[in-house]
Amino acid sequence: MGRVLRIGTRDSQLAAWQATTVQNLLKHAGIASELVYMKSEGDIDIVTPLYELGVLGIFTKTLDAALLNNRIDIAVHSMKDVPTQLAKGIQQAAVLERASSKDIFVYKSEKDLEALGYDGKEWNKLAPTNRNNQQQYIIATGSVRRIAQWIYRYPGHIVENLRGNVNTRLRKLEEHHWNGAIFAAAGLERINLRPPQSVDLDWMLPAPAQGAIMIVCREGDEGAFEACYPLNHEPSAICTKIERDFLRALYGGCSTPISALARIENEQVILKGNVVSPDGKQKLEIEKQFPVNLASTMGVQAGNELLDKGGTAIVDMIRKNGLPGNENH
């Protein structure tokens, strides 16, 4: 391929790491490329809570426009930030092998961590009576999904808004009075910023496609597609598609209190999903298992099943609150 691929990326440290990773993989395959840096709406406004911005694809729209205007040839995204319905004229070219899908809690005090029910090895299961008698605790996150799951588990706690790239949010955590903040493990680990004072939130189900990197290109650009498709990691692509199908079946927005995680074990796909009311008072969960060769519609089936079990009322509540936006890392 004689063409030099133009790789569009946001200019944060994490986004640059992701784009450079793709660039290196292409170089290894003998394909030349260059990085083109851009700022998204979500990067410019780092104060307003994402759910108040009310814009689907707030971290991807700028790159989408650049692709469609032929200013770049491919774009690299954190897959969980990509709307479940790609913009017209854009197609998925590859999903890289997924990193950790977990959320983590970055804390300030070991004592505070113990108060949350973590004994140094695992999180205790909290009975409802215990949840209702908790000390006041202040945590920070800009994700409505994380807020809803946290308040469901700890209804007496206060959650404050935290926006910005991962570097900015770690700095804000140090400067503010918060007891801790929630991040995606992959976002911090990829750029070696995960603090020692952090633990995996094993009880918190992640955003659909969390930890995965997606490459997109223009429809009809066979050269760009054929250059990127060999980078596709099939198990990661299968699992993230199922999770995003689950999200789309329930609602479709990226910043909603809807979570899903699919994994492949012994030729079986195991899917866990949930939807939590924005106020954290209601949660519906589902778990399904299908053979890999029969799992193509698994996400849609699970989403529809959860709607039939009472999820419709929660989704209506989400729509009423006007929450579509995008996740933070």
- Alpha carbon distance 229, 59 (integer Å): 23
Scan for tokens 């570097």, then name that residue: 167
Which helix (H) or strand (E) segment is 250 a member of?
helix 234-250
Strand partners, 213: 78
Report DSSP state, residue 310.
I
Whether 81 is catalytic is yes
* Distances from the Cα of 183 to the Cα of 36, 105, 127, 253, 289, angstroms: 26, 7, 25, 19, 28
Task: Give me the catalytic one of 43, 45, 73, 81.
Answer: 81
Phi, psi of 245 (to 5 degrees): -65, -40
Scan for tokens 């900015």, then name that residue: 168
Strands, E assignment, the chain: 5-10, 33-38, 74-78, 90-95, 103-107, 138-140, 158-160, 180-184, 198-200, 213-218, 258-265, 268-276, 283-291
- Alpha carbon distance 18, 192 (integer Å): 13
- Alpha carbon distance 223, 213 (integer Å): 20
Q: Residue 239 in contact with residue 95, Cβ under 8 Å?
A: no
Q: Which residues are catalytic?
A: 81
